[in-house]
Amino acid sequence: MTVEGALRGAAPHLLLDSLRTSLAHLYAATSADLLLVDYGFTTLRPVEPAQASAGRPHTPVDAGPADRVFRTQQPYLFRDVGPTATVYLPVTVRGDRLGVLMVVLPADRSGPTTTASLARVAETLGHALRVADRHTDLYRRTRRTHPLSIAGEMQWDTLPGRACTGPGFDLHAHWEPAYTSGGHLLDWSATERDLVVVVADGAGPGTRAALASTLALTALRNARRAGLDLVAQASLTDQALYGQYRGEHPLAALLLRLDLATGEAEVVDAGSPTLWRLRPTATERVELDRQLPLGMFEDTVYAPQRLRLRRGDRLVFVAHGTGEPTAGDPHEAPDGPVARVLADARHRNGVDVPRTVLRALRGPALGAADAVLVVCLDWRGDETGLPGEGPREGPAPTPSAVP
């Protein structure tokens, strides 16, 4: 039986046992261990039965070969002292990094071909974990360094994940606090033609805010899945929030639909988080016409705006639960701290940008908000198009446009 077949047939909580049996048969592996990253992205934690969960140490994400593989997303073959070798493999699903698989096998069975084959096994394991998560708590329990608050549990159950990659784009997100909740909202949906992204400031800490964010997220998905356009998605969500809370829990949100072939984007700014555009020689805040937050008043009318991207553009959404960080220097612009951090992170890999920006904004030097969500979207363009082909030019079909 293939590894894929074995994983499909295994009980959700026994995926690793099934994998070990298959690897022993196919590769003569003597052991296989799975490390999952915790919710705070601080440690890689071994998957073990509940009764053995305190048995083995956790691995910091900034040390050792497992960290190297987690950061670079490249398999690593380490030849041990003696007759064995250890292969470290990234476990990732469509850009969302789950952890690292470690396989120990005879040194004479190791090599580039085996490593490449095991990398495909790790990818298959990642997809199996996503499915198994619906049927067992084992893997979610493994990812906790300490208990989640109820609001934090709600947030992790509703948000789509930390990353999504596809032809022409890479999207990565990170938020803090990880074990409680700032009430942030994040969602995306991709097709072969476009990508829809929604980012919202936190409605505040605690269960009441998490409930409001969950209602908003459900309304947005309901409208999107019904085929409604971006304006109608904002309007339906606005009505749902106002109908439930009568303006007590407004949500500042930004809705964006990006044409993956042309780089043309439609934006609805409902009192939104800040949006920044990074290019090789410039970091600039995208100035949008801010409209009323979702759920603030009854029957708010929203208007779309237009944004055109160049191939290679990076968009960074920065959402602060309790307001934007302020500049310590009275001569600096109010958004100067964010601009500095983004400029420093301009040349980093997209996956590293959210955590880099978030760490800086939550640092004591900037006095930043307690809850921060950062999303980085890199648009590479239509990979089937001509090299260097830019977005279509033409009149904006809406009352306002952002160049």
List pLDDT tens digits, range 309-353: 999 999 999 998 655 555 455 545 557 778 888 988 888 899 999
pLDDT digits (tens, 9 = 90+) for 355-366: 999 888 876 544
**Are 282 and 393 found together in one domain?**
yes
Of 89, 112, 142, the one marking the end of a domain is: 142
> Whole-model pTM?
0.88
CATH code, domain carrying 105: 3.30.450.40
Same domain, 54 and 91: yes
Residue 60 shares a structural domain with residue 122: yes
- Greatest C-alpha distance within the chain: 72
Residue 234 has pLDDT above 70, yes or no: yes
The count of domains in the chain is 2
| 159 and 84 inside one domain | no
Least confident of 41-45, 250-254, 335-339: 335-339
Answer yes or no: do 213 and 232 share one domain: yes
- Residue 393 pLDDT > 60: no
Residue that finishes a domain, picked among 112, 142, 172: 142
Same domain? For 155 and 124 the reply is: no
Q: Answer yes or no: do 110 and 176 share one domain.
A: no
Distance, in Å, from the CA atom of 86 to the CA atom of 91, rounded to the nearest integer, reads 16
- Mean pLDDT (the chain, rounded): 87
Range of the domain at 137: 3-142
Residue 56: per-residue pLDDT: 62
Residues 154 and 247 in one domain: yes
Final residue of a domain: which of 111, 142, 173?
Answer: 142
Taking residues 41-50, what's their average pLDDT? 88
Tokens of 3: 């590894």
- Check whether 54 has a pLDDT greater than 60: no
Contact 273, 320 (CB under 8 A): yes
Confidence of residue 172 (pLDDT cuts 50, 70, 90): very high
The CATH number that applies at residue 242 is: 3.60.40.10
Mean pLDDT of 117-146: 96
- Which of helix, strand or coil describes residue 128? helix
Q: What is the pLDDT of residue 33?
A: 96
Asked if pLDDT for residue 399 goes beyond 80, the answer is no
If asked whether residues 131 and 247 sit together in one domain, one would say no
Q: Which residues contact 174 (CB under 8 A, 6 or more apart)?
A: 41, 162, 354, 355, 358, 373, 374
pLDDT category of residue 401 using cuts at 50, 70 and 90: low
DSSP state of 383: T
The alpha carbon of residue 198 and the mean position of all alpha carbons in its chain are separated, in whole angstroms, by: 12
* 185 and 326 co-located in one domain: yes
**What average pLDDT score do residues 36-63 get?**
78
State whether 202 and 280 are in the same domain: yes
In this predicted structure, what is the pLDDT of residue 366? 45
**pLDDT value at residue 53:** 47
Return the higher-pLDDT residue of 182 and 86: 86
Q: Are residues 303 and 356 in the same domain?
A: yes
